[in-house]
Amino acid sequence: MASKAAYKRLNKEYVAMQKEPPPFVWAVPDEKNILTWNYIIRGPPDSPFAGGEYHGVLLFPPEYPFKPPGIKMLTPSGRFQPDRKICFSMSDFHPGTWNPAWSVATILTGLLSFMLSDEMTTGSVTTSDADKRAYAARSHAWNLEQRRFKEAFPDFCTPTTKPVPNMAEKEHGGSSKVAEPPSAPATTTPTPTPPVVPATPSVPQIQVPSSHAPSPLGSNDVARTTGRDVGGGGWTGMWRQLIWDKWRWGVVLALALIVSRLSSA
């Protein structure tokens, strides 16, 4: 019986499978046991499995997604022994390498990639490409005779092989690659352009806050700064202004002294 976590996760993956199935793959859970999934793998074009229809099962443990599933392929393919567990990195043969983030889509995409390779493992067989093509040609007829296939995939029990929802657009002029990252865009030689001469950088204008801005110069300030009297008197005007300043401050100090003595008396 599936744990609560397994039940929730597998339901989520069924929705994802319906929405975005991976290329050449289709899968549905058993109506009576969500831990058992039936899958179909279609042989990609330009491979010995082209035109083939391969039915198999995923056997999930109650602890899924924390433990990997057992994987079988039931349809004779010339690559795997029918109805025998297959050993590869995403199966229950390798619990130590299992990643709980992997999903049904990830597992079946990995299985298809492994199927297209020549690596030998438990559950695999060695045949020629001609044998694989012969198995592919007979696969749909073989599936139609199997009760389990007819119960799991009634919509695929047609006189001719029916494409799975995502055939990687190969029949429609798209790519036939499986589980490969997109290639880098082609490198083109750019048209030479004249070198851009950088403009001479302008000197930034420093903005002085109003609180720190210098006040306008008065006539006395101008005289002190330039040594000239604004009125045009030159040095004579400057000395006259200096004597007046000293006399004025002398009068102020004298008055302050008289007031101080009167206060003390």
How many structural domains is the chain composed of? 2
| 178 in a structural domain | no
Residue 187 included in any domain: no
pLDDT value for 113:
96
246 shares a domain with 115: no
pLDDT of residue 264: 59
Q: How far is residue 32 CA from its own chain's centroid?
A: 37
pLDDT of 183? 37
Instruction: Note whether 251 and 139 are same-domain residues.
Output: no
Task: Please report whether residue 70 resides in a domain.
Answer: yes
Pair (134, 230) in one structural domain: no
In a domain, 206, yes or no: no
The single residue listed with the structure tokens 């198999």 is 56
Q: Do both 257 and 162 map to the same domain?
A: no
Q: Which of 141, 172, 203 is the last residue of a domain?
A: 172
Q: What positions carry a catalytic annotation?
A: 87
Cα distance between residue 212 and residue 227, in whole Å: 26
> Which of 100, 11, 25 is CA-nearest to residue 55?
25
Query: Does residue 45 fall inside a structural domain?
Result: yes
Q: Are residues 9 and 100 in the same domain?
A: yes
Q: Are residues 168 and 253 in the same domain?
A: no
pLDDT of residue 181: 33
Confirm whether 210 is domain-assigned.
no
Q: What is the DSSP letter of 24?
A: T
| Residues 122, 32 share a domain | yes
Is residue 115 in some structural domain?
A: yes
- 97-156 pLDDT, tens digit per residue, is 999 999 999 999 999 999 999 999 999 999 999 999 999 999 999 999 999 999 999 999
pTM for the whole structure: 0.65
- Domain carrying residue 258: 220-264
Query: Rounded to whole angstroms, how far apart are CA atoms 115 and 117?
Result: 5
For residues 159 and 35, state if they share a domain: yes
Residue 193 lies in a domain: no
Do 42 and 114 belong together in one domain? yes
pLDDT for res 1: 86
- Among the three residues 142, 172, 202, which one is the final residue of a domain in this structure? 172
Shared domain for 226 and 167, answered yes or no, is no
pLDDT beneath 70: ranges in the chain: 169-257, 259-265
The CATH number linked to 155 is 3.10.110.10
Distance of CA 51 to the CA centre of its chain: 34
Tell whether 136 and 25 lie within a shared domain: yes
Q: If you count DSSP H runs as helices and E runs as strands, how many of each does the chain have, helices first?
A: 6, 4
Statement to judge: residues 32 and 112 lie in one domain: yes
The Cα 265–Cα 260 span in angstroms is 9
